[in-house]
């Protein structure tokens, strides 16, 4: 990610062996230069933002979220986002690495939590239903030197994620008659995120996983209802939209960055999947971002 066209932010580590931090919105606004959070940036960790007071907008990938009291924003690793500065906003920001949520590799909720972070970026809850969790996390975070505090934070954060994000995600899966994502699907999805620039052929991914293309297609359809190729192209489209919406680079440079040999190939690919040219999509993002 060192050559990423979107500015990257590393985890703001407060303690060498604990992958969790927490800020009030007021503290966050006063401690960082405004451009660092109002300009588009990509996270190399996860983050949860809770709004307790105020209204405004927040941008995650190419989506606009209209925030209000009770809004929960979930930003997963590698997603791009930016703040729409409003000093009247109150709440909390929690950056963390998701490994602190899990109890080892065999944790039965590991794939559910990661999948939920991938699929849902914001939900609106009753403002009183989540405030308690954040207030407790804040109290514990200010006392990190105390014994057992890290474990209390770990359990409180896990409970918060399960109660809000994972429960909402599960409800969405149930309504679509889908099951929880399998380990093979999660592995495939992870490979797509790290290799889509180099290859978008299903055969290559099947080879990486030691499977036939038929079996990989079956895994993809059982978990998402889409073919393996559709999933690969879908992620390539998502990253294309991120770079078009959040970077100032020429479309020709973005095309090369994404593995297209010619800018016209990106244009054909993008229009096939969205009905818009890259330039039209970028102009649309600029329009909505300035409104």
Task: Cite the DSSP H helix spans in the chain.
Answer: 25-31, 34-38, 110-119, 127-141, 149-161, 167-175, 183-195, 202-209, 213-224, 228-246, 251-257, 263-274, 278-290
pTM of the model: 0.80
My answer on whether 26 and 163 are in the same domain is yes
* pLDDT band (50, 70, 90) for residue 16: low
How far CA 74 is from CA of 78, 153, 263, in Å, comes to: 12, 18, 33
In a domain, 168, yes or no: yes
Q: Of 175, 210, 241, which one is at a domain's C-terminal end?
A: 175
In a domain, 197, yes or no: yes
Per-residue pLDDT tens over the stretch 63-111: 889 999 999 999 999 899 999 989 999 999 999 998 899 988 888 888 8
Give percent of the chain above pLDDT 90. Answer: 62
pLDDT (mean) for 147-175: 89
Residue in 130, 45, 55, 115 with CA at minimum distance from that of residue 88 = 55
Domain count, the chain: 2
In a domain, 226, yes or no: yes
Q: Of 175, 206, 223, which one is at a domain's C-terminal end?
A: 175
In a domain, 2, yes or no: no
My answer on whether 218 and 149 are in the same domain is no
My answer on whether 85 and 206 are in the same domain is no
My answer on whether 95 and 200 are in the same domain is no
Q: What is the pLDDT of residue 2?
A: 38
Q: What is the CATH number of the domain that holds 40?
A: 2.60.120
Give dist(CA 137, CA 247) in Å, integer: 35
My answer on whether 28 and 159 are in the same domain is yes
Cβ–Cβ under 8 Å, residues 121 and 63? yes
Per-residue pLDDT tens over the stretch 234-255: 999 999 999 998 888 999 999 9
Give dist(CA 179, CA 181) in Å, integer: 6
My answer on whether 146 and 208 are in the same domain is no
The residues, any chain, with a CB within 8 Å of residue 174's CB and separated by 6 or more, are: none
Q: What is the pLDDT of residue 254?
A: 95
Q: What is the pLDDT of residue 287?
A: 52
| Dihedral angle, C-alpha 146, 97, 21, 50, nearest 10 ° | -120
Q: State which residues form the domain around 269.
A: 183-290
């Amino acid at each position: 990610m060192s050559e990423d066209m979107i500015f990257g932010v590393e985890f703001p580590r407060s303690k060498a062996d604990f992958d969790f931090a927490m800020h009030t919105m007021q503290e966050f606004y006063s401690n960082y230069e405004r451009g660092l959070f109002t300009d588009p940036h990509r996270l190399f960790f996860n983050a949860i933002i809770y709004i307790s007071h105020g209204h405004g907008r927040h941008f995650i990938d190419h989506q606009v979220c209209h925030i209000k009291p009770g809004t929960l924003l979930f930003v997963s690793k590698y997603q791009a986002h930016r703040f729409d500065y409003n000093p009247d906003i109150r709440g909390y920001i929690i950056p963390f690495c998701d490994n602190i949520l899990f109890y080892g590799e065999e944790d039965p909720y590991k794939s559910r939590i990661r999948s939920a972070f991938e699929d849902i970026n914001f939900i609106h809850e009753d403002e009183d239903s989540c405030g308690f969790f954040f207030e407790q996390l804040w109290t514990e975070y200010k006392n990190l030197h105390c014994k057992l505090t890290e474990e209390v934070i770990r359990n409180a954060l896990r409970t918060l994620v399960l109660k809000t994000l994972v429960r909402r995600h599960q409800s969405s899966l149930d309504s679509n008659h889908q099951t929880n994502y399998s380990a093979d699907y999660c592995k495939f999805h992870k490979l797509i995120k790290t290799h889509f620039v180099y290859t978008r052929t299903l055969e290559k991914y099947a080879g990486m996983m030691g499977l036939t293309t038929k079996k990989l297609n079956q895994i993809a359809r059982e978990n998402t209802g889409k073919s393996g190729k559709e999933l690969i192209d879908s992620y390539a489209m998502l990253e294309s939209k991120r770079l078009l919406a959040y970077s100032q680079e020429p479309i020709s440079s973005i095309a090369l960055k994404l593995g297209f040999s010619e800018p016209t190939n990106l244009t054909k690919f993008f229009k096939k999947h969205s009905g818009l040219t890259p330039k039209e999509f970028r102009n649309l993002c600029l329009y909505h971002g300035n409104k």
